[in-house]
Amino acid sequence: MIDAQTITLGISPCPNDTFIFHAMLHGLVGRHTFDFSLHMEDVETLNLLARNGTLDVTKISYHMYGFLRNEYVALNSGAALGRGCGPLLIAPPGSALPVLKDKVIAIPGHFTTANLLLQLMTGGHEKVREMRFDKIVDAVASGAVAAGLIIHETRFTYQEKGLIPLVDLGQWWENRTGQPIPLGGIIARRNLGESAIRRLDEMIKESILYARKHPESSRKFIKEHAQELSDEVINSHIDLYVNDFSVDLGNEGRRAIETLFKAAEQLHIIPKDDRPLWVI
Side chain identity at residue 212, one-letter code: R
Which residues have a Cβ under 8 Å from the Cβ of 244 and sit 6 or more positions away? 250
Running DSSP on this structure, what letter comes out for residue 278?
B
Amino acid at 176: R
CB atoms closer than 10 angstroms to residue 263 = 17
Amino acid symbol at 238: I
From the list 152, 214, 225, 268, the catalytic residue is 152
φ/ψ of 70, rounded to 5, equals -70, -40
Active site (annotated) includes residue 214:
no
Contact at 8 Å (CB) between 88 and 165?
yes
Going from the C-alpha of 2 to that of each of 5, 7, 32, 33, 34, the distances in angstroms are: 9, 15, 10, 10, 11
DSSP at 2: P
Q: What is the DSSP letter of 273?
A: -
Return the active site residues.
Answer: 152
